[in-house]
Amino acid sequence: MNCEEVKEKINIRTVLESFHLFPVKENRKKAFYFALDREEKIPSLSVDFVKNKAFDFGTGKSYDVISIVQQMNQCSVSEALKYLEKFDFSVQNEFHNEELTQKKEYEILKARKIQHPELIQYLKSRKVYEQKELVKEVEYELNGKKYFGIGFFNNSGGVEIRNKYFKMCLGKKDVTLIKNELNISTEIVIFEGFFDYLTFRNLEKKENLSSDYLILNSTAMLFKVEELLKVYDKIFLFLDNDSNGELIKSKIQNQHKNVEDCSLIYHGFKDLNEWFCSKEDL
């Protein structure tokens, strides 16, 4: 398959999601994302789902699926094509004509308790099997093929899917807010991903479950909860030790005075779960 066929047949949204990039604003035809090559407060990357292309208003640079991979992986065209081999080349752009008949590319077939041995082993390898009741085993069909994974639902009904080999989101990207069922909480604990949340629940004593929990599922989702955070007296941050985590931490600290950065607990590790998995005595 040549470059032009790849540009036409690989869905640009799917490629962006493979790098954990999700829209900040969107409609059926277009969406705005944060830039690929810099940190910014206002999204400047316009993605046209009809043309399967993107344009950065900050730099004037245009992107297709190949150049997006080149930018994110800092690689050659041939290396980008190799990266794109994992995508289903038979999938046409979801917009087939100017009438924009939107095709539903996935269907959730089952959501049940974790049963599959591979998923059980994966949870054990991440040392969060004890929290299996907080996630689901999700069977789904994507582009005509059936898959399964560990599912964690967000507030819009979308589901984060994880297994040993990949991670993605089915449906609309959103945060997951978990409220304390017993009392109105004045504290909230924030995580980037749900494996850090499961790890925290492993570490936290059951009798001290007094906080609300917020899993961003993507740092790009912070804008959805900026007003929500104002109602809490105390905010605890368990964010990743990377540039995105630092950016989100700075934004929250600049807007609130009652913020505690807990990333020092796992200093030298990417996130809470990676640190937890490194401890033989925990």
Q: With respect to CATH, is domain 176-278 assigned 3.40.50.720?
A: no
pLDDT beneath 70: ranges in the chain: 1, 88-105, 205-209, 282
**Which CATH number is 3-84's, of 3.40.50.1980, 3.40.50.300, 3.90.580.10, 3.50.50.60?**
3.90.580.10
Q: Are 94 and 105 in contact (CB under 8 A)?
A: yes
What are the residue ranges of helices labelled H in the chain? 3-9, 12-18, 65-73, 77-84, 117-125, 194-203, 243-255, 272-278
pLDDT for 205: 62
Q: Are 44 and 58 in contact (CB under 8 A)?
A: yes
Q: What confidence tens digit (pLDDT) does each residue in 74-97 have?
A: 999 999 998 888 775 543 444 433
Name the 3-class secondary structure at 188: strand
| Residue ranges per structural domain of the chain | 3-84, 106-170, 176-278
pTM assigned to the model = 0.67
Q: Which two three-digit tokens encode residue 238?
A: 């368990």
Comparing 3-84 with 176-278, is the CATH topology the same? no
